[in-house]
Copies of this chain bind each other. A is one copy, B any other.
């Protein structure tokens, strides 16, 4: 999409009607930053909600004024793209707990006039989805044509399916899991530990002081290794040497330089506390943890397209197959596609061609069966 887009803000849950959180906390008012692309039709039945991953935000497509970097899924959202904005009204919002316009630990608590910091309550994937439901209500959309997203975005798709099964016509969970495995939790925990071990973290109350940049950079470095695959790293870096001469131990290899670059640039755009809260929400998520959720899923009468990528070892295809299995068990019409790719978990952001045809045809079928 070449268009200039704008971030919008939806504010709700004004005290005393605060938002009730799944784990017992309360918060309000809540701001949700969002963007929309394309036009909502008269019947309001062409709306698609896109859900972002851990470090994503509401800016999924198009360009912000004066910027030359498009939204994070610009290759997938736009005229004639997978999510075709000439047909569909596409919405993307920043998650609760985030740091890109939605209420999160770095937001100012109106009661104290200071950043929430560690007083921010623990949030869950279902809380994020609950906020999106409020946004959809506010936009007066009765039923979404589709919810779609990769990685943590896919977890939100699953939460939509179990928590608001009657509010969606279809769902596309990509490169995701019903719940995190021990290995996925472990990688997140090491990242959290790196942040919390940084003396600048100050128990989460670092706003106005130096930020825990080295801890957050380390967390992101770990993340990036898990987002790529062994083979994609070999192809991109191999054992290419790089010598910066700044220290005995630093960056002899290009891959090290790359990780440092990615770590350091992440620090400039992401909040360390958001990283803690959001990764914890991911680890705690379990789509079908209770019988209530299992029963709830059976109320979903729409179609599901599950997409996984062969070289994704962070969210391996077997986890997507588990999603397919529980959908089948719930009597849901589900199809599964495993795309050949060497890009690892990053594939859902990179493999545009492979996903486009699948998603385009899937949406076309769903939308064609919709009363216009």
Which partner residue on chain B sits nearest A280 by CB separation?
Answer: B249
Give the segment of A37-45, A192-200, A299-307 that binds chain B. A192-200
A194-B194, A218-B193, A234-B181 given; A187·B249 CB < 8 A: no
Residues of chain A touching chain B, judged by Cβ–Cβ distance below 8 Å, are 118, 122, 179-183, 185-187, 189-190, 192-194, 196-199, 214-215, 217-218, 221-222, 224-225, 228, 230, 233-234, 236-239, 247-253, 255-256, 259-260, 263, 276, 280, 283-284, 286, 313, 316
Whether B180 and A193, one on each chain, are in contact in the complex, defined by CB atoms closer than 8 angstroms, is no
16 more A-B contacts (CB under 8 A) besides A193-B263, A197-B215?
Answer: A118-B248, A122-B248, A180-B239, A181-B233, A181-B239, A182-B253, A183-B228, A185-B253, A186-B225, A186-B256, A189-B259, A190-B222, A194-B197, A230-B316, A252-B283, A252-B284
Provide the residues of chain B in CB contact with A276, threshold 8 Å: 248-249
**Residue from B197, B228, B234, B236 within 8 A of A218 (CB atoms):** B197
Provide the residues of chain B in CB contact with A187, threshold 8 Å: 225
A193-B221, A218-B218 given; A182·B239 CB < 8 A: yes
Whether A198 and B196, one on each chain, are in contact in the complex, defined by CB atoms closer than 8 angstroms, is no
Provide the residues of chain B in CB contact with A250, threshold 8 Å: 196
Within the complex, what minimum Cβ distance (angstroms) separates A174 from chain B?
20
Report how many copies the assembly holds. Answer: 2
Which partner residue on chain B sits nearest A215 by CB separation?
Answer: B197
Which partner residue on chain B sits nearest A224 by CB separation?
Answer: B186
Whether A221 and B185, one on each chain, are in contact in the complex, defined by CB atoms closer than 8 angstroms, is no
Closest CB pairs A-B (n = 4): A182-B233, A197-B214, A182-B237, A182-B255
Within the complex, what minimum Cβ distance (angstroms) separates A179 from chain B?
6
A297 and B295 alpha carbons, distance in the complex (Å): 65
Within the complex, what minimum Cβ distance (angstroms) separates A292 from chain B?
18
Which partner residue on chain B sits nearest A181 by CB separation?
Answer: B234
A247 and B192 alpha carbons, distance in the complex (Å): 12
Whether A192 and B249, one on each chain, are in contact in the complex, defined by CB atoms closer than 8 angstroms, is yes
Provide the residues of chain B in CB contact with A248, threshold 8 Å: 118, 122, 276, 280
A284 and B218 alpha carbons, distance in the complex (Å): 22
Provide 23 A-B residue pairs closer than 8 Å at the C-beta atoms, listed in order of the A residue.
Answer: A118-B248, A181-B234, A182-B233, A182-B236, A182-B239, A182-B255, A183-B233, A186-B259, A187-B225, A189-B253, A189-B256, A190-B221, A190-B259, A192-B249, A193-B218, A193-B221, A196-B247, A196-B249, A197-B215, A222-B222, A252-B280, A252-B284, A253-B283
